[in-house]
């Protein structure tokens, strides 16, 4: 079975630009969460989506937005990029039947802002 997939693998953007990251959950999982992992730190929660509705949001500015599609895939958008947005962006999917407790992570998208 395929795990969580993310695209692209790597991305280089310039300050002020906008970026879109994509995530496909494990088949049967209807919830997707996004995390930001800055080098040398643990991941920080950004969003959780379930059945296309935002279920939770972390302490991130409005420049960060996300959405979930009918096929449960998700996009994370970041506008007006700052140098501090450089990080590994991780997507995790979970199944509602387990109460979303078990979150399975994708390989991440490494974003570099110059």
- Residues of this chain that bind another protein (CB under 8 A): 4, 31, 33, 35, 41-45, 48, 55-58, 90, 92, 94, 99-108
Instruction: Name every residue whose Cβ is closer than 8 Å to that of residue 10 and which is 6 or more positions away in sequence.
Output: 109, 110, 112
Residue 67 burial (C-beta neighbours within 10 Å; 0-12, 13-18, 19+): middle
**Nearest CB to another protein, comparing residues 64 and 105:** 105
Query: 35 vs 80, which CB is nearer to another protein?
Result: 35
Between residues 84 and 99, which has the closer beta carbon with respect to another protein?
A: 99
Distance (Å, rounded) from C-alpha 94 to C-alpha 103? 5
CB 58 within 8 A of CB 48: no
Cβ 80 to another protein shortest distance, Å: 25
Whether the CB-CB separation of 56 and 47 falls below 8 Å is answered with yes
Minimum separation from the CB atom of position 34 to another protein (A)? 11
Taking the complex as a whole, how short is the minimal distance between the CB of residue 56 and another protein, in angstroms?
Answer: 2
Minimum CB separation of residue 64 from another protein in Å reads 15
């Amino acid at each position: 079975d395929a795990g969580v997939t993310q695209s692209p693998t790597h991305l280089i953007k310039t300050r002020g630009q906008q970026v879109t990251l994509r995530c496909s959950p494990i088949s049967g999982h209807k919830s997707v969460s996004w995390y930001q992992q800055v080098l040398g730190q643990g991941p920080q929660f950004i969003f959780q989506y379930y059945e296309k509705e935002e279920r939770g949001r972390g302490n991130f500015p409005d420049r960060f937005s996300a959405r979930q599609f009918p096929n449960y895939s998700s996009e994370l958008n970041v506008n007006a990029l700052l140098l501090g947005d450089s990080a590994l962006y991780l997507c995790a999917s979970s199944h509602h039947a387990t109460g979303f407790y078990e979150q399975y992570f994708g390989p991440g998208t490494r974003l570099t802002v110059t």
